[in-house]
Structure 1
């Protein structure tokens, strides 16, 4: 574990005495006091100096603030909530305190929050249904209450495009009743729009395949409750004389959230080295591992690298609305001009780097373990980013392995823009394998992060060893590539002080071999980035 630098103890004393301050309904942390001759003032221009100053205690300091922010703001830091706005203020304040000129980039996004719901049949037989198994409110459903609403089947015989897909399906529909439609033929949102226009109080969509129906309307706009149910229940509800109670308490609207961007100018501005992490949590919890861990780690690196005079400009980014579909990074890349995109030499992504039952995963840029899925580009040079990260773990004698370059985190927008990318990951909901336990510790058959996307993703949900070693690996990769990216894109710089390992990628001592590589050993695939289900 990295030794704590004396100036770090001074900073922790400041935070400890001041605590977190409640200001205007949000929480921000006391800013660093700084200490002469300490990490905040010296030029950490070697690998040894930077990794000495990037400490576990420093990263945990940020995570403690993120935890406090969540606790003061409804238990989460999700985009569109006060907890996220307070997280943005904290990151911005810390960066400005050490001299960065910070850009807060606003963008609009579809916000949805489901607070509660209930569904029951009143007649012919009173029955109460369980959320998640018997029914599920659709994402972006409107809010509302229906008491003893008459169920009106809509074109269940499928005479046209699909049940509820055409306005004519609702010819003669009795207003102020509950529309019952079957899945298929068009997006759920179209069925709901047609029902709403016909005067329905709510919509029930039943599945056309086995199992529950967890659907999305794709975007805000529907103002009545829309729920999905399994096939058998839908068929039961089609019986004449059926009435139901439905209640949905939700918010569905277009909201504004933010990316935070800061950069350290280099000798050149046309070969930018970017490092990013998403700052938002899910609504269910504080998101300390996912992704307070990556956000805190790159903030710690940014604070300790300010005195370096790199060859290439270093740009740090904290993305908003990742949990809603990689929206912040997509907005950022989409807003760049072709010239600005061309100036980004590479992108490093750090999403979940402290999982409690961790493995050390590096995105498999050379596709030696996991060929990228169809349609996912892997820009030339991404393999060399993988090797740079492998270099660090090799130097430390730490085991690591590849994970699928799937495009399921914020690097997706960059690879689609043909920008070489890579990064680190320590696992989400996938179960740890037997072969990994001797390499990393932990427990086989248990998720890498059992609290993934849950209320339990708190300050106690990070592994100190994983967080410490990954934070140093992040520092190593950012500093090394800020001096020279010739391995990635042939742009010659100068060697980073302290040297670069650059071993033979075919002769690595600590690269673990996955005996069953299907799936990448742990993919961050819990985010649903797909389009509307039909």
Structure 2
């Protein structure tokens, strides 16, 4: 965390639970949290192993020990830290990018890692600064945040989580010199790229030895300090607080005071939030009563000093914060199903009467739609057909088998169509069609290639129409919903067609979890 003049910590309590006075010994010995009760979203976050996070901290300490005692901007220990993280992420399937910048005559680096699933136009970005100051190894500041978000990132493939939104993780350089890395990243984004980032989560110092439990005050509910974050920041704050409430820990608000890497994001209107366990500020008696620890001492007495080593980390705080990060990422990355009573649905786990080429006019020579257990295909480093479904083992897919190459069973030669069984819609009330989908292709695709979903009765409602472009587009599950109330009282069919309709190109598509809801 970047240096600044010490400030008071706002005492307003934002989430109050049953009061229990913890001694320092009891707080240090607190057990790992129990698994949460099922949330309102489809998949619950895993419990992140503390031992795994501490393994990464040990690695950061070793890197500092062999590189002059620090991991600072422009020093070899920083680049070694980047390379360690990147090797971990590459090994499990992340797409990683190292972005370089120059500050104070030295080259700095940001590391970006993206999980190849979820809507690329709806990004949940989770970040932490990776650099230390020159005076020490920076294990709490900010090896703790860096290690925590790394282990959360690794838990995505390990748990089999399929997010609805795109997950991106970032480790920023030169934060200690004025948020240089995150500022460079935000300034490098186009307007459209900024708009795709729906939330930014920042974790800077999450294992302070005399820990507090602070959550960035997204809605300025404490009424003091820097004011609220951009619209949407309150949702992040409330999500984090929901986790802490579930484990019986009281949190307090901390302001967006420009001290960490959320600064460049909120400056351009991107909602932000995160947690913080305290730096050089002094813990009050009231805070010690809430959280344990020692009143009258700094939250981190080794802040920006050589003693910020692996011995300078509170395991309980680190464990709780890492699980809070996972909970928040999982919650924000999932799209709640549309409200209302289900009129009709299909997850494709059993055959329900979908018909291929219902009008006898299809022209595709391979890759016809089928209900199948899909195999993964890829070409030129781009995943085309997804081997994972949204739920269960089956979906609608354009040729489920992998074959000897990615082009063995993709759509070729024209259009393939599949039609649902007849669905009788109620005559009153609002009606919504929702489903998950993907369209994937390589750069030889054109706008004549497409995926289209329509609901056909006496009239037709187009629920989705996506065309190809001359670029590699990896398969990634996305969700959409459409108002079909204009078809109320009719018997309708859902018609899905996909085309490789111009130059021969690698085109794949999938559809899963189709639902019509009333209300």
For residues 144-159 of structure 1, what are the structure 2 equivalents within 5 Å?
none
Is the CA contact (8 Å cut-off) linking 1:390 and 1:400 kept in structure 2? yes
User: 1: distance between equivalents of 2:174 and 2:155?
Assistant: 27
User: 1: distance between equivalents of 2:336 and 2:62?
Assistant: 38
Alignment partner of 1:484 is 2:484: no
Alignment counterpart, residue 172 of structure 2, candidates 313, 319, 344: 319
1:147 — aligned with what?
Answer: none
User: 2: distance between equivalents of 1:405 and 1:102?
Assistant: 29
* Greater helix content: 1
1:432 — aligned with what?
Answer: 283
Alignment counterpart, residue 355 of structure 1, candidates 190, 205, 208: 208
Is the CA contact (8 Å cut-off) linking 1:280 and 1:323 kept in structure 2? yes
The change in CA–CA distance for 1:390 and 1:377 in structure 2 (over 3 A counts) is closer
Is the CA contact (8 Å cut-off) linking 2:256 and 2:263 kept in structure 1? no
* Greater strand content: 2
**Greater mean alpha carbon deviation, residues 402-411 or residues 414-423:** 402-411
2:462 — aligned with what?
Answer: none
1:183 — aligned with what?
Answer: none
Is the CA contact (8 Å cut-off) linking 1:2 and 1:55 kept in structure 2? no
1:119 — aligned with what?
Answer: none
The change in CA–CA distance for 1:296 and 1:304 in structure 2 (over 3 A counts) is same
Aligned residues: 303
Long gaps (5+) in structure 2: 1-30, 35-41, 338-433, 437-519
Q: Deviations over 1:332-374 (max 9, x none)?
A: 000000100010001000000000001100001111115343x
Long gaps (5+) in structure 1: 5-44, 111-253, 487-491, 495-534
Q: Deviations over 1:85-126 (max 9, x none)?
A: 10000000110111112101111111xxxxxxxxxxxxxxxx
SS at 1:78 equivalent: coil
Alignment partner of 1:85 is 2:85: no
Is the CA contact (8 Å cut-off) linking 2:71 and 2:81 kept in structure 1? yes
User: 1: distance between equivalents of 2:137 and 2:44?
Assistant: 32
1:63 — aligned with what?
Answer: 57
SS at 1:483 equivalent: coil
SS at 1:456 equivalent: coil
1:102 — aligned with what?
Answer: 96
Is the CA contact (8 Å cut-off) linking 1:359 and 1:440 kept in structure 2? yes
Cα drift, residue 422 of structure 1:
0.4
Is the CA contact (8 Å cut-off) linking 1:78 and 1:280 kept in structure 2? yes
SS at 1:448 equivalent: coil
TM-score in terms of structure 2 length:
0.56
User: 2: distance between equivalents of 1:64 and 1:368?
Assistant: 38
Q: Deviations over 1:174-214 (max 9, x none)?
A: xxxxxxxxxxxxxxxxxxxxxxxxxxxxxxxxxxxxxxxxx
**Greater mean alpha carbon deviation, residues 311-320 or residues 401-410:** 401-410
2:67 — aligned with what?
Answer: 73
User: 2: distance between equivalents of 1:435 and 1:485?
Assistant: 38
1:267 — aligned with what?
Answer: 118
User: 2: distance between equivalents of 1:422 and 1:484?
Assistant: 19
The change in CA–CA distance for 1:493 and 1:72 in structure 2 (over 3 A counts) is farther
For residues 371-520 of structure 1, what are the structure 2 equivalents within 5 Å?
371-373=224-226, 378-484=229-335
